[in-house]
């Protein structure tokens, strides 16, 4: 299986709304393609408009597995009106609330990947509490508060299969990035300290860890 997306998938990734740069996207794809060989689903927490979902879905398609993506689609803290990452196009005009689900579905449709993705619409801890199956990859890219990042880790990391990957986005060790990346950084440190995960690679703010022991 190719460890890099084809030009059409890369173009779909770049065209989608979102914040992941190309180098991190390529690292995510390589991780997903490798993990998918375990024959288990790939799961991301934090769908937004489907930019990274395109990469996971293509890697899943190539391996004959399914990509799962978890989001309530009402936007995280930094995406609300008045914040730097707010996009007015993602607001439901009737409700006046963010709703990224329609944009996400368009992203998947344009990429030809709808049948390879199951979208789980709801809050991550609620869905994780119902989950009982092993996963080849868990990609944590949800809310950036300690509450949300910690809940995503505690809810989903235990489901990473032996040899599977835990991928964490927006890991910024510098305290100047407190709002955007300190909570994911603390989750990254916790994963390493747990003894359950060993770091495989770092690309920009993306960290790839492999399960090498029990626990989380």
Q: Which residues are catalytic?
A: 144
* Distance from C-alpha of 163 to C-alpha of 170, rounded to nearest angstrom: 23
* Distance from C-alpha of 156 to C-alpha of 166, rounded to nearest angstrom: 9
CB 25 within 8 A of CB 139: no
* Distance from C-alpha of 101 to C-alpha of 116, rounded to nearest angstrom: 16
* Distance from C-alpha of 146 to C-alpha of 143, rounded to nearest angstrom: 8
Give SS3 for 26.
helix
Alpha carbon dihedral 213, 159, 106, 12, in 10-degree steps, equals 10
* Distance from C-alpha of 184 to C-alpha of 158, rounded to nearest angstrom: 17
Q: Cα–chain-centroid distance for residue 209?
A: 14
């Amino acid at each position: 299986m190719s460890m890099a997306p084809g030009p059409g998938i890369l173009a779909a990734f770049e065209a989608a709304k979102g914040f992941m740069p190309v180098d991190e996207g390529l690292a995510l794809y390589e991780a997903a393609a490798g993990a998918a060989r375990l024959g288990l689903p790939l799961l991301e927490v934090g769908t937004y408009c489907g930019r990274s979902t395109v990469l996971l879905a293509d890697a899943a398609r190539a391996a004959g597995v399914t990509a799962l993506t978890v989001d309530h689609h009402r936007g995280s803290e930094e995406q609300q009106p008045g914040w730097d990452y707010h996009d007015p196009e993602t607001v439901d005009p009737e409700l006046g609330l963010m709703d990224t689900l329609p944009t996400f579905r368009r992203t998947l449709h344009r990429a030809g990947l709808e049948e390879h993705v199951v979208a789980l619409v709801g809050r991550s801890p609620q869905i994780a509490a119902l989950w009982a199956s092993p996963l080849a990859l868990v990609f944590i890219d949800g809310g950036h508060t300690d509450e949300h990042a910690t809940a995503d880790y505690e809810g989903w990391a235990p489901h990473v299969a032996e040899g599977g990957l835990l991928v964490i986005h927006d890991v910024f060790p510098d305290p100047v990035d407190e709002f955007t990346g300190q909570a994911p950084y603390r989750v990254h440190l916790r994963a390493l300290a747990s003894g359950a995960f060993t770091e495989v690679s770092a690309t920009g703010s993306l960290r790839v860890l492999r399960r090498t022991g029990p626990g989380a």
